[in-house]
Structure 1
Amino acid sequence: MSIRIVIADDQASVREALAVMLDLVEDITVVATASDGAAAVTEVTAAMDIGGVDVVLMDLRMPGTDGIEATRILKGLFPDLPVVVLTTFSDERSVLDALGAGARGYLTKDAGRVEIAAALRAAFAGQAVLNPEVQARLLDAVEAPRTKAVPAGLTPREVEVLRAIAAGLSNREIAQQMFVSEATVKTHINHLFAKAQLRDRAQAVHFAFTHGVVG
Structure 2
Amino acid sequence: MIRALLCDAHPLVRQALRQVLAEAGIDTAAEAPDGAEVLRLVLAAEQPFDVVLMDIEMPYRDGLDLLRRLRSECPRLPVLMLSAFSDKQYAVRSLKLGAAGCLSKTADAAQMLAAVRTAMGGGLHIPPDVGAQLDGALERRGRPPLRQRLSPREIEVLRLLASGRSVAEIAAQLELTAHAVAECRAQLMALTGMRNDVELALYAVREAVV
2:21 paired residue number: 22
Q: Is the 8 A contact 2:92 2:134 kept in 1?
A: no
The one of 54, 63, 66 equivalent to 1:67 is 63
2:2 paired residue number: 3
CA root-mean-square deviation: 3.7
SS of 2:194's partner is coil
Alignment of 1:32 onto 2:27: no
The one of 148, 154, 172 equivalent to 2:149 is 154
Q: Structure 1 residues 144, 82: closer, same or farther in 2, change over 3 A?
A: closer
Alignment of 1:114 onto 2:110: yes
Q: Deviations for 1:2-53, whole angstroms, at most 9, x for unmatched residues?
A: 2211010111211122112312222x1110111111111112223x30x320
Q: Structure 1 residues 5, 190: closer, same or farther in 2, change over 3 A?
A: same
Q: Structure 1 residues 153, 144: closer, same or farther in 2, change over 3 A?
A: closer
Identical residues among aligned pairs (%): 30
Q: Structure 1 residues 63, 149: closer, same or farther in 2, change over 3 A?
A: same
Q: Deviations for 1:73-113, whole angstroms, at most 9, x for unmatched residues?
A: 11221111010111123534312321233211111112112
The one of 67, 70, 77 equivalent to 2:73 is 77
**Unpaired segments of 5 or more residues in structure 1?**
161-170, 173-182, 209-215
Q: Is the 8 A contact 2:92 2:130 kept in 1?
A: no
Letter in 1 for 2:194: R
Instruction: Provide the rounded CA distance (Å) in 2 between the counterparts of 1:149 and 1:197.
Output: 13
For these two proteins, the number of residue pairs brought into alignment is 178
SS of 2:114's partner is helix
After TM superposition, give the deviation of residue 60 of structure 1 in Å.
0.4
1:123 paired residue number: 119
Letter in 1 for 2:30: A
Higher relative contact order (CA 8 A, sep 6+): 1
1:211 paired residue number: none
Larger radius of gyration: 2
Instruction: Provide the rounded CA distance (Å) in 2 between the counterparts of 1:146 and 1:52.
Output: 37
